[in-house]
């Protein structure tokens, strides 16, 4: 496992019809004006830990630690397992930020070295979930149930989008799904934002825009969830 690398690069498209970018990075190296760049770097777990350990005192004093996010980090679960093992050996708290739409066996690779799971729950209705994310939610909810039953601390994170998942019904269903589990540390509602739109356009994706819920509405929904968790 030593020397394992995590490679993530921004997908691009060629301007030449019928061809596609291989994401090899050669064009970036050849661009004398530095107008092109890769959006990520290739790092080994050892290299990442050298960076992380520089802030170990801050993590200790603040109660923080290492969070692995994405994209979906469990698409590279072997790498996450190795990284988390090194973090735990260094006394650093570990958190996994995941959408949960992977085989549960990928969770099992990392949970022994995971202190906290940050789990996305968007739409409790599978058809609605399919419409706006491209996949149904059955596997995600099945994984969520297994995580809840495991007892591992879980923080639920829900991006709230007007007209999509901001209904009282969706929030009540979510609360009922989570009710009775003492390992749910928090249900956090995140107002939709448009910061990713330009990135989507840059990689040639067709981007949809949505309305951001008001602060008042977020407070109403948060109270609704808390009332139905009791």
Domain boundaries defined on the chain: 62-229
Closest C-alpha among 156, 154, 175 to residue 221: 175
Q: What is the CA radius of gyration of the chain?
A: 20
How sure is the predictor about 19, in pLDDT bands with cuts at 50, 70 and 90?
low
pLDDT at 2: 42
How far is Cα 211 from Cα 165, in angstroms, rounded to an integer?
Answer: 12
Burial of 160 (0-12, 13-18, 19+ CB in 10 A): buried
pLDDT at 126: 96
pLDDT at 208: 73
Instruction: Report pTM.
Output: 0.82
pLDDT at 20: 64
How do residues 42-94 score in pLDDT, each as one tens digit? 899 999 999 999 999 999 899 999 999 988 999 999 999 999 999 999 999 99
How do residues 124-167 score in pLDDT, each as one tens digit? 999 999 999 999 999 999 999 999 999 999 999 999 999 999 99
How far is Cα 54 from Cα 217, in angstroms, rounded to an integer?
Answer: 40
Average pLDDT, the chain: 88
- Strand runs labelled E in the chain: 5-6, 43-44, 65-68, 93-98, 116-120, 154-160, 184-191
Query: What is the fold, at CATH topology level, of the domain defined by 62-229?
Result: TIM Barrel (3.20.20)
Size of the chain in residues: 230
How do residues 6-17 score in pLDDT, each as one tens digit? 544 433 333 444
């Amino acid at each position: 496992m030593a020397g394992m690398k995590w490679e993530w690069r921004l997908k691009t498209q060629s301007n030449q019809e019928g061809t596609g970018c291989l994401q090899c990075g050669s064009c970036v190296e050849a661009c004398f004006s530095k107008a092109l760049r890769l959006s990520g770097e290739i790092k080994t777990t050892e290299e990442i830990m050298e960076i992380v350990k520089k802030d170990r005192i801050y993590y200790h004093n603040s109660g923080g630690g290492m969070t692995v996010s994405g994209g979906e980090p469990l698409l590279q679960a072997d790498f996450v397992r190795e990284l988390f093992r090194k973090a735990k050996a260094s006394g650093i708290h570990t958190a996994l930020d995941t959408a949960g739409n992977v085989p549960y066996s990928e969770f099992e690779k990392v949970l022994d070295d995971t202190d906290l799971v940050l789990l996305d729950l968007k739409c409790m209705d599978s058809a609605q979930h399919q419409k706006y994310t491209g996949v149904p939610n059955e596997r995600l909810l099945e994984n969520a149930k297994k995580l809840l039953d495991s007892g591992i601390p879980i923080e639920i994170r829900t991006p709230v989008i007007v007209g999509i998942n901001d209904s009282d019904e969706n929030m009540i269903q979510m609360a009922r799904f989570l009710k009775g589990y003492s390992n749910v540390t928090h249900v956090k509602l995140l107002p939709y934002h448009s910061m990713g739109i330009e990135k989507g356009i840059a990689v040639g994706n067709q981007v949809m825009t949505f309305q951001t819920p008001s602060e008042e509405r977020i407070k109403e929904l948060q109270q609704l969830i808390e009332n139905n968790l009791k």
